[in-house]
Chain A
Amino acid sequence: MDLRSRVPAGPIEQKWDAHRFEMKLVSPANKRRYHVIVVGSGLAGASAAASLAELGYQVSCFCFQDSPRRAHSIAAQGGINAAKNYQNDGDSIWRLFYDTVKGGDFRAREANVYRLAQISTAIIDQCVAQGVPFAREYGGLLANRSFGGAQVSRTFYARGQTGQQLLLGAYQALARQIGLGQVKMYPRTEMLDLVVIDGRARGIVVRDLVTGAIHSHAAHAVVLATGGYANVYFLSTNAKGCNVTATWRAHKRGALFANPCFTQIHPTCIPAHGVHQSKLTLMSESLRNDGRIWVPKEAGDRRASNDIPEGERDYYLERQYPSFGNLVPRDVASRRAKEMCDAGHSVVPDGHGVYLDLRDAIQRLGRQTIAERYGNLFEMYQRITGENPLSVPMKIYPAPHYTMGGLWVDYNLMSNLDGLHVIGEANFSDHGANRLGASALMQGLADGYFILPYTIGDYVAQAKLSPVDTDHAAFRTVEAEVRERTNRLLAVGGSRSVDSFHRELGTLLWNQCGMARTHRGLEDAIGKIRELRARFWKEVGVAGRGEDLNQALERAGRVADFMEFAELMCVDALQREESCGGHFREEFQTPDGEARRDDDRFSHVAAWEWTGEGKAPALHREPLAFEYVHLTQRSYR
């Protein structure tokens, strides 16, 4: 199979406009004859569903939460990037494009990234019009901050709740369409499989999470906006429900999975505090603007932070990276923290953690200023840890946060399966091997508001689709398979909880396919995952019935998919014999311990094809050319 990225010809700044002109249009009268399924109601899904409905398409939208407003996007804190250059500090579409490609360590598709930067400004306009209460200056104009170590202030934010406000904007636009009857919303409904007819995605099979009933839905096109898979690590900053199920099932129906090993570990999260820990909480990166990161020089030093004299503290980031200091990119900051803790400098007894200390900032700017700047973060930290960051340094440690990998898509955001579009974090995205802060919200909304509505039209206008409804034999077969699988989970009848398996899988991946990876570790992990998967299907216990609200069953299904997906993640990590962005192979590093890319062998997207149970997945490569941003080794020293 050859991967056609469908990137239009011409100079990069004209590709998107030219492409929009070339795309086929659907006449207004005909739009209502087309039915589009949107799975997911996060930033990507909600914006897409609302925009498609506004255009006149018939839309069915699905989410597993009780309301579309609760999608995981709601948790985003920091902000959203846009090349508005309101600060007059030299930002531009070109700079955002450049920063994103470089930040992604040269593993993203240039044309997509450029388009993303182009669209970024329209997103802010759209959100403001919807009533998103972005932070403002006293003059009444929009405020910006610099985020994630960017050299310009291009991040728009709404207190510490940017994701929430952006999502509510999209949710309200969606709600309007639901009220008008243009969108049929299915909350508490989980997609469990994709239905492919004549090589085209024509529908999905879902489970009603309240009644347990299995249903089919047919459409002309299917859009997956189901988010990322960081929960494969069990402990992550993602919401508990985040899963790989929708994309994994699509993968098993023929969609290629790209760069699954590209995962982002966020450096500033609250460390785990025991066996009962159920998820990890992010502390916004902005803390690194004022906080200094350190550990005791003396390994195993158990003194209370404030008893450790200045001279015996190791501000290791400032020491190792004089120019960027505490603001080095996420992957670097995370890896260094791990190093320190592995070397015994952890500040969390029998755990992992380093200090993020605001003392100096408080002395410099005053308690008041710092309290105002990070008020809600401190409250959250204190609720969880019981400690007040204004008096004792915060303890932080990296945690899985975001996944750059996802289903492979072309320039039109369509996977290799015709009619299956993938947007938001669920696709392999524009972030290459590492995502810059405040760029995921931008991408989700760019996909949903301003790209998909055009490309879907182009697809349905061209593909001469035969009418198909859920009585079609293909739906019957897939439904039967879904039922069979559900019953199999209930039938195992073991006595070990789903969560305990998920925890075990997560720990394994965290240690062997997390912040640092090795050939031996990955091979070993693959063996262990297979063995764990076998035990799962023998020992897991799922109480209750299938025809009922059954949360254990929901989780079991998701964990079963994680178990299969985890193997592909390791296979991909094993294959990529280089270090780039979030993917760090210990064998491939510079003398001073930085990631060493191998552009000759690995300047490509690794897209994996499912070849059947127990068979090795087939690798397809989409070569990446860099015509506009010249390949350089990142250096932050």
Chain B
Amino acid sequence: MRLVLHVWRQTGLDAPGRFERYEIPDASPDMSFLELLDGINESLAARREEPIAFDHDCREGICGSCGVVINGRPHGPQRATTACQLHLRHFTDGQEIWVEPWRARAFPVLKDLIVDRGALDRVIQAGGFITARTGSAPEANATPVPKRDADRAMDAAACIGCGACVAACPNASAMLFVAAKVSHLGALPQGQPERYGRVVKMIDAMDEAGFGACSNHGECMAACPKEISVDLIAQLNRDLIRASIAPPREGKSWTGTA
């Protein structure tokens, strides 16, 4: 199949960028979107031109490295699918495709389609963890966890940290990412002692990083390759309210959520 790509090229941090046009006469519907970019880079190499820079690693939809905005949609048109798992059979012959990087103040463009997502790491560093020094752990089965809670925790923990939620959000808000981690740890007994301190620290770090505010557009959920639900955003807000006006004593024994 024939495809026309307009790819954002930008030589470096705060350099001006522009769309470059590339025509691919012989793409195969079985190719992944990243393999399409590989193909363009092969031909660029032959012409001794710089390849299109884009992040990728696992190409299995799990590492969260890849991520480009395809025709205005982070990770492209297919639901619950990362760019690396998106295959060309979802495009039509002769289609024009516009490819852009994630755009957010908190995600500065480093080159072409590569952005710096360090802000997400900083949010986790601020409190997205359970403090459990190596060696200090009790026997694993000492604390039973209701299956329902374990499953809820897993649903939230499926987040791959790709940042598509931020890219899709009209406000460039990172609420879904933060909500996912807060809900994952908050759903488990192990996460209770730090629960309310955690949410305050993470929200602080989120604002620090320059993300926008959530006004409940729901675009993040639509773009999320792991289909993290905006219900978790409500949960995050509830935890913050609880933390601010009625914080239970730290270490208070666990009493379920939601």
Interface residues of A (CB under 8 A from B): 47, 50-51, 54, 65-70, 72, 74-75, 84, 86, 122, 124-131, 133-142, 158-159, 161, 164-165, 168, 171-173, 175-176, 178-179, 185, 187, 210, 239-241, 273-274, 276-279, 281-282, 379-380, 383-384, 386, 449-450, 453, 493, 495-500, 541, 543-544, 548-552
Contact = CB atoms under 8 A, between A and B. Distances in A.
B4 interface: no
B42 interface: yes
B57 A384 contact: no
Contacts of A159: 154, 158
A126 to B, nearest CB: 5
A131 B188 contact: yes
B147 A136 contact: yes
Contacts of B132: 126, 129-130, 173
Contacts of B185: 131
A67 B134 contact: no
Interface string B44-59: 1111111101011111
B166 interface: no
| Chain B contact surface mostly | loop
Interface in B176-203: 184-185, 188, 190-191
Nearest to A141: B141
B158 to A, nearest CB: 7
B38 A72 contact: no
B130 A66 contact: no
B46 to A, nearest CB: 6
B150 interface: yes
Contacts of A165: 154, 157
A549 B146 contact: no
Nearest to B141: A141
A68 B141 CA distance: 29
Contacts, number: 227
B229 interface: no
Contacts of B154: 133, 158-159, 165
B140 A241 contact: no
Contact of A138 (B32, B121, B147, B188): B147
Nearest to A132: B157
Given A141-B141, A159-B158, 8 more contacts: A70-B63, A131-B184, A276-B31, A278-B34, A386-B87, A493-B48, A498-B45, A541-B46
B16 interface: no
Nearest to A69: B161
A74 B138 contact: no
Interface size classification for chain B: 35 or more
A188 to B, nearest CB: 9
A76 B40 CA distance: 30
B62 interface: yes
A499 B50 CA distance: 14
Contacts of A277: 35
Contacts of B55: 66
A338 B58 CA distance: 26
A221 B43 CA distance: 44
11 contacts: A67-B64, A69-B121, A74-B160, A127-B140, A131-B190, A136-B144, A158-B157, A165-B154, A168-B157, A383-B87, A549-B110
Contacts of A386: 30, 87, 89
B60 A380 contact: yes
Interface in B67-120: 78, 80-81, 85-87, 89, 110-111, 114, 116-118, 120
A50 B48 contact: no
Contacts of A279: 59
A405 B134 CA distance: 28
**Nearest 4 Cβ contacts at the A-B interface:** A140-B144, A172-B129, A129-B137, A179-B125
Nearest to A136: B150
Nearest to B49: A543
A124 B126 CA distance: 25
Given A69-B121, A69-B161, A122-B137, A495 B46 contact: yes
A392 to B, nearest CB: 16
Contacts of B138: 125, 129
A241 B32 CA distance: 17
A489 to B, nearest CB: 13
A282 B62 CA distance: 12
B133 interface: yes
A497 B45 contact: yes
Contacts of A453: 134
Interface in B189-224: 190-191
A129 B132 CA distance: 6
A551 B64 contact: no
Of the listed residues B32, B49, B135, the one surrounded by the most CB atoms of chain A closer than 10 A to its CB is B135
Contact of B51 (A138, A141, A543): A543
A161 B63 CA distance: 11
B146 A497 contact: no
A541 B28 contact: no
B171 interface: no
Contacts of B47: 495
A69 B58 CA distance: 12
A494 to B, nearest CB: 9
Nearest to A548: B12
B35 A276 contact: yes
Nearest to A121: B140
Contacts of A449: 134-135
Nearest to B85: A383
A453 B117 CA distance: 30
A393 B140 CA distance: 39
A70 B35 CA distance: 20
Contact of A164 (B44, B62, B146, B150): B62
Contacts of B38: 276, 278, 499
A497 B144 contact: no
Contacts of B34: 278
Contacts of B60: 75, 281-282, 380
A308 to B, nearest CB: 23
B257 interface: no
Contacts of A493: 48
Contact of A543 (B30, B44, B116): B44
A172 B190 contact: no
Given A158-B154, A273-B30, A276-B38, A128 B137 contact: yes
Contact of A384 (B28, B48, B64, B85): B85
B39 interface: yes
Contacts of B158: 159, 161, 164
A185 B122 CA distance: 11
A75 B62 contact: yes
Of the listed residues B46, B87, B124, the one surrounded by the most CB atoms of chain A closer than 10 A to its CB is B124
A281 B61 CA distance: 10
B114 A549 contact: yes
A74 B63 contact: yes
B173 interface: no
Nearest to A84: B140
Contact of A278 (B32, B51, B120, B126): B32
A142 B140 contact: yes
Given A129-B138, A133-B153, A549-B114, A65 B63 contact: yes
A175 B124 contact: yes
B59 A278 contact: yes
B253 interface: no
Contacts of A70: 57-58, 63-65, 161
Contacts of A72: 57-58, 63
B126 A140 contact: no
B136 interface: yes
Contacts of B87: 383-384, 386
A270 to B, nearest CB: 10
Given A65-B57, A75-B58, A124-B140, A131 B191 contact: yes
A239 B44 contact: no
A273 B32 CA distance: 11
B62 A74 contact: yes
A380 B140 contact: no
A384 B12 CA distance: 33
Nearest to B146: A140
